[in-house]
Amino acid sequence: MSRAWYATRDLKCRIFDAEFNSYEKTFDPSDKHNNRLLKKIDGLIVQTNSEKELFSSCSDRIFVINNTIIENLPMPYIGKREKRIVNFCRLSPQKNLELLIDAFELFHREYPDYVLQIYGDPSVDKKSDVAYQDSLLEIIKQKGLNDSVFIFPGRKDIHQEILNSAMFVSSSDYEGLSNSMLEAMAIGIPCICTDCMGGGTREVMVDYHNGIIVPMNDPKAMYRAMKEYVEYPELADKCVKNAIKIKDRLSPDKIIMQWIEVLNKTVKNRYALMCHFYEKS
């Protein structure tokens, strides 16, 4: 944000900052430099009400606009589901995939015919992400799960690939509003997500209504949620029926209108510079 501000401070334009990740872990409300910049910009766009509350001490021009859901997703699957649990994300410590593997290890003892498939790639410019991928492979090896836990590269057709999976499970420590969670809900996969920092899960998910919310860093709770979907298929069906409604709620047309409304409130026919600091979910 600071670079955008200093680059444009002499221009006759409005400046907005749009934050697309959770900053609960890193934001310091006592940072005078950040506070000064937040008071100078014309608006701050965040993805969740939790993030709005986080920044509220620094600005009174904060607007919540959720992510939109991409168009052309496949229709929800109807039929017998394959015995596989899936996740698709960037391979990064933020995603806490070791928690997912730990929970699956417990689940696999009771349901050995299920597999866990993780699709994603590390950021090539982040050595920590590459090292994280290696550490996950080592964890899988040490647990003796090589025949049931698989890490695959990301795919352009990921939604079609996972469509008939038994469940989607997200183990993130923090998120803004996870695109993979929204897309899994929209295509009708029963979802389990951590109540992660940033508030993204609770922004769109109601526990046992359109998904199951589990505490962070609790493999036993995650295992029990996986087990519930298997033992109570009517619960999975209920969650799917309600989850797919998110596609309409977060349609591009509706989210675009929210952006236009915010700009109309604040810009008042002057030019706006939208400063996006985007990190993929």
Q: The domain 82-247: what is its CATH number?
A: 3.40.50.2000
Residue 39 vs residue 233, higher pLDDT: 233
pTM: 0.86
Label the pairing between strands 149-152 and 62-64: unpaired
Dig out the tokens for 202 from the structure.
């609770």
List, for residues 226-253, the tens digit of each pLDDT value: 999 999 999 999 999 999 999 999 999 9
Is pLDDT larger for residue 256 or for residue 43?
A: 256
Confidence band of 182 (pLDDT split at 50, 70, 90): very high
Instruction: Name residue 181's beta-bridge partners.
Output: none
Confidence at 278, pLDDT banded by 50, 70, 90:
very low
Average pLDDT, the chain: 87
What's the distance, CA 188 to chain centroid? 16
Q: Which amino acid is at 25?
A: K
Helix (H) or strand (E) holding 55: helix 49-55
Mean pLDDT of 25-32: 62
Q: Do domains 2-68+251-277 and 82-247 have the same CATH topology?
A: yes
Q: Are 56 and 29 in contact (CB under 8 A)?
A: no
- Portion of the chain with pLDDT greater than 90, in percent: 61
Q: What is the pLDDT of residues 166-177, one digit of tens each?
A: 999 999 999 888
| pLDDT of residue 149 exceeding 80 | yes
Give the residue among 170, 182, 185, 180 at the shortest CA–CA distance from 243.
Answer: 185
The domain limits of the chain are 2-68+251-277, 82-247
Q: Please give the CATH architecture assigned to the domain spanning 2-68+251-277.
A: 3-Layer(aba) Sandwich (3.40)
The burial of 78, by beta-carbon neighbours within 10 Å (0-12 exposed, 13-18 middle, 19 or more buried), is given as exposed
Torsion, Cα 69 70 73 75, to 10 degrees, reads 30
